[in-house]
Structure 1
Amino acid sequence: MTESVELNLHDLRRRYLKDGLDESNTDANPFKQFELWFKQAQEADLLEPNAMVVATVNADLQPSTRTVLLKLFDERGFVFFTNYTSQKAKDIAHNPKVALQFNWLDLERQVKILGVAEKISMAESMKYFASRPKGSQIGAWVSQQSEVVSSKQVLMAQFSKLKDKFKQGEVPFPDFWGGYRVVPSQIEFWQGGDNRLHDRICYQRMDGQWQKSRLAP
């Protein structure tokens, strides 16, 4: 009889004491507040401060999450890039409502975003693709994202073949690859607090304006 493994997680906890968050010390513009926190995450030398979880829902109403990298943000929204035949792209085609989450745990912070994903222009995608390292450009051609692959060796063989093919010239832009911009309707800034009394400042877009409120922890 196999012995069961039991992990005691009851006492796995810590106090959140780093900072506080209030309506008075947050910007009226959530994008400026995000820019401030993002710069502080960079200055704290966090691993991949632009890593964010993207949550989608498929046609069967099954939620799915994955971590991607934020590559651009401004007052239009938050941009990431992917294969347009990937599972996340199929989900977005069915239901463009998505959620994003940044977990900056060393700063005891989270940012949660609700919005709608829309494809950016091909010109914007081509511009970003041209800025990528050549290996990443080739990788976009090699990976049929989310599809079953027989082995890692098959991928590496395809990569080597294309690397040799394009060694003397530029890697062409793949028309099945590009960016999505998540246009937010809600942005929440979460700061850990002592005794689990966390600070949650939420911005909601109403009639074209951002309204700010505090949420109970």
Structure 2
Amino acid sequence: MKLVIFDVDGTLVDSQGLIVASMCQAFAEEGLQAPAREAILGIVGLSLDVAVFKLVPECALAQRVRLVDGYKAAYMQLRASQGAAQSSPFYPGAYEALTRLRARDDVLLGVATGKSRRGLDKLIAGHGLEGYFVTTQVADDHPSKPHPTMIETAMLETGVAAAETVMIGDTSFDMDMAAAAGVTGLGARWGYHDVTRLSAASQLIEDFGALDGALEQVWELQS
């Protein structure tokens, strides 16, 4: 069996509008100037407490905790008002690629995301992806990316070896996590990190139309 693990935000779905708006609202409630859009998108993928620390390391712990809570509340409110499909739409070809891979009897699908369990469950339900992923690793249960435990746990749960496992993501955190876990990392050029930050990727892919061929190339080289 082969295991394909996907990051979510910036890889499967484009949730940047929701993320930026939620972070700006959290900062406004604390009377702080929000970071630049580029800075906010640069921390997508990290666990939320780590992300906020990177944005405002000078803030006291209590204020960073309030920023985290404020972000969560704003995110849930905005998502509820817009719906998951509108606030976090699929990238072109993402759903079709997932469906093609799910139909294969030699491939298992997984997720490794900085989202919470509740956030991932809402997204999966909102996009009709119930049953697509046999393993889902979230920030609630692991150290922040790029620590490798999300991938390591996914491999343990599925019984798939590192040589047959591929991580697909758009950030340096995803590619560094893949390298730390000893698996192949495919970097998504369409996401939130500039491609110059994806140096740990084994290969960069332009779009979901190129995914199947890239996977076959990886597995052919491993065989």
TM-score (norm 2): 0.24
TM-score (norm 1): 0.24
| Higher alpha-carbon Rg | 1
Identify the structure with the greater strand proportion: 1
